[in-house]
Amino acid sequence: MTDSSRLYGQLIDAFNQRRWPLAQSLAARLLPLAPDHGGVCYIAGVACLEMQQMPQALGLLHKAAELEPRRADVATQFAKALALAHRWPEAVAAADRAMELVANDPLALDTLGVVYTQAHRHQSAVSAFHRATELLPKRAIYHFNLATALVAVGDLDVAERELETCIELDPNCWKAHLTLSQLRRQTRECNHIERLQRLVSLHADNDEAQTSLNMALAKEYEDIGEYPCAFECFVRGKNSGKEARNYDFQRDEALFDALIRAFPGPSAVSTGDPTDEPIFIIGMPRSGTTLVERIVSSHPDVYSAGELHNFGVVLKRLSGSRTPVLLDKDTIECSKQVELKQLGAGYLASTRPATSSKRHFIDKLPHNFLYAGYIAKALPNAKIICLRRDPVDTCLSNFRQLFGQSAPLYGYSFDLLDTGRYFVKFDRLIAHWQAVFPGRILEVSYEALVQSQEEQSRRLLAFCGLSWDERCLQYERNEAPVNTASAVQVRAPIYLSAVRRWKRYEAQLQPLLQLLTEAGVVFDR
């Protein structure tokens, strides 16, 4: 047996045992001997991917895909790597090629469904997850993934059945219980409270279970009007997940302060990219951004691209910052040298081809409020809409929501007072952007929007340079997918029940009210 054959056998063993450092080491020894061996490039690429070495993973998997164009596993992992690098158009193209090659591999289909979900191609995700469940019907997580894709496309009845199937197969799939509770408004006659209470008692030492189950219980107690019980469950659920987040408000405080220092005063005329295609919808999460996105995207000239992280990714890349966090003080400092036109053009290119079908497209990432100064300079003709909701309702709604556990921007939401402190910083940052870029940001009141829908909708379209269209008053008929915490609510017409929701919890919110009052934040008592 030759040395290369022996090494290749060891490489296969390391790959099958998921010993990624060893696989990477063996592949590094083999590649000089067989630089055009697709299998070696593939294993080396997957090892780098598992070890989060993205540049190396992308290069090796790209080469493997060129050398082995008919291998479904290679195409699937290449698509996954592109998605993790936020290279969405390329990821979708790679996933489409992989779907043509995948026959009876449920794991590959599930992986491709995740890629499509991350790229906001939810109908494609439904197809991939559905095929996976057909091939492996006893795999609970496949049914959960299919359910989330079905929620995004608005098929709530089938999503409910898939969630119940998931729970039947695996009662310990905690996120399925939470998703099910959020799918509909529960009633005293029809709810899951008894099952949730039983599971909470059975899994008292499991923080992950306590977080999801208590948040589910809180939602269902709130639906039936048991508000003190609901608040207790919100607190227990968030406390269970708080320690793992290792959140430090001072880090966010330093970030906000650094952004304000980076834009000290009114700016000269920008030399950014002249496109007027983007419409950015920003604001605190849970403040009505999805509602506005649905209204504006109901216009025939507007495409909704979903919540894109592209602007921050392009800014990070052009800044040259090597820190692991997408936006921090180092990135802000390094960004002083970024060429604005290149930043604007790079962002626009990163959204293609999906955003090229209509005259305008919406980027509805709420936390783009952090980048509003960069957006205003790099895209001087882009529209920026900022949602403002009652401060107490905003803080409560963030505390009531369990955002993605891996999402880095929501650490504040696990503590009610941290949420209040974060809101104060947000409020002051928006005031700063308004002072530095007068006229660039349209602030829209959520309360005004739900109380005067047509008046505010006309104001929104006029700001975006769009003609009036009656379809914008019937946003609930908008068939475009939704992949946010508001996916269920925006399928219904305008409702007023979320206005001044905090009054139901006024006794429990006194520390938050005091914090906001002392910070000078005005809210309607």
Instruction: Give the pLDDT of the chain (525 residues) as one tens digit per residue.
Output: 457 788 888 888 888 998 989 988 888 888 888 778 888 899 999 999 999 888 889 999 999 999 999 999 999 999 999 998 878 788 999 999 999 999 889 999 999 999 999 888 899 999 999 999 999 999 999 999 999 999 999 899 999 999 999 999 999 999 999 999 999 999 999 999 999 999 999 999 999 999 999 999 999 999 999 999 999 999 999 999 887 788 999 999 999 999 999 999 887 777 899 999 999 999 999 999 999 999 999 999 999 988 999 999 999 999 999 999 999 999 999 999 999 999 999 999 988 877 888 999 999 999 999 999 999 999 999 999 999 999 999 999 999 999 876 677 999 999 999 999 999 999 999 999 999 999 999 999 999 999 999 999 999 999 999 999 999 998 777 655 555 545 555 545 566 777 889 999 999 999 999 999 999 999 987
Q: In whole angstroms, how large is the CA radius of gyration of the chain?
A: 24
Peptide bond into 353 cis (omega under 30): yes
Domain boundaries, the chain: 249-518
Q: Which amino acid is at 321?
A: S
Half-sphere exposure of residue 203: CA atoms within 13 angstroms, side-chain side: 21
Q: Span 249-518: which CATH code? A: 3.40.50.300
pLDDT, position 495: 64
pLDDT, position 205: 93
C-alpha triplet 89, 120, 355: angle, nearest 5°: 50
pLDDT, position 1: 42
C-alpha triplet 393, 386, 271: angle, nearest 5°: 155
Gap between the Cα atoms of 306 and 118, Å rounded = 10
Neighbouring C-beta atoms of residue 525, cutoff 10 Å: 9
Gap between the Cα atoms of 432 and 336, Å rounded = 18
The model's pTM? 0.84
**Sign of the Cα pseudo-torsion (342, 344, 347, 348, in order):** negative
Q: Are 180 and 164 in contact (CB under 8 A)?
A: yes
pLDDT, position 509: 97
pLDDT, position 493: 58
437-465 burial code (b ≥16 CB/10 A, e <16): beebbeebbbbebbeebeebbeebbebbe
> DSSP H helical segments within 193-288, as ranges?
193-202, 207-223, 227-245, 249-262
What residues form DSSP beta bridges with 386? 282, 443
Q: Are 469 and 298 in contact (CB under 8 A)?
A: yes
Tokens of 363: 């980027």
| Contacts within 8 Å (CB) and 24+ apart, 508-514 | 508/228, 508/231, 509/392, 509/396, 509/416, 511/416, 511/417, 512/392, 512/395, 512/396, 512/416, 512/417, 512/419, 512/420, 513/392
Gap between the Cα atoms of 230 and 509, Å rounded = 13
All residues at 6 or more sequence positions from 61 whose CB lies less than 8 Å from its CB, including other chains = 41, 42, 45, 46, 49, 74, 77, 78, 81
Query: Residue 352 class from Cβ within 10 Å (0-12 exposed, 13-18 middle, 19+ buried)?
Result: exposed
